[in-house]
Amino acid sequence: MISLRPARPADAETIFGLIEALAVYEKEPEAVVCTAQELRDQMAQEPPPFECLIAELDGEAAGFALFFHNYSTWRGRRGLYLEDLFVRPEHRKKGIGRRLLSALAAVAVERGCARMEWAVLNWNELAIDFYRSLGAGPLDDWTTFRLTGAPLEALAKDGEKPE
């Protein structure tokens, strides 16, 4: 039996384990630098920087969806950004990913969000096909940029703090 529930700070170890499994699947296991304690502390903040749904199959954590709100200036409303969606390989093809996305869509609609967005690796054809089957489409005219580490620090040194 599949059940979905909102994660609580006590679920930090479970979420961390799923994050590690996702990193292995995405061929970047060394990229995870957060800790379960950091997740626990962040989930205890008010408001927390993210929310998470955990999918359980027969009482075992089978997958998760970690999300937060962004904002659309053109639509004048917030959106829901799905940072991570992951179902353990042994639990795939059981409807868990669809249930997680459906639950997130319900959250987005209930909260008056203008849209729901996420990114997918270009090589992940299984996920791309799945998302397309739900009616989602890629934003082909957009390229995601990221600034981290030393380049982020260097640019910050040139900046000034707003007062």
- Active site amino acids: 131
**DSSP SS3 for 28:** coil
Residue 139: DSSP 8-state: -
106 residue type, one letter: A
How far is residue 89's CA from residue 64's CA, in Å, rounded to a whole number? 13
Q: At what angle do helices 36-43 and 12-25 cross, to 10 degrees?
A: 130
User: Which residues on neighbouring strands pair with residue 85, listed in sequence order?
Assistant: 65
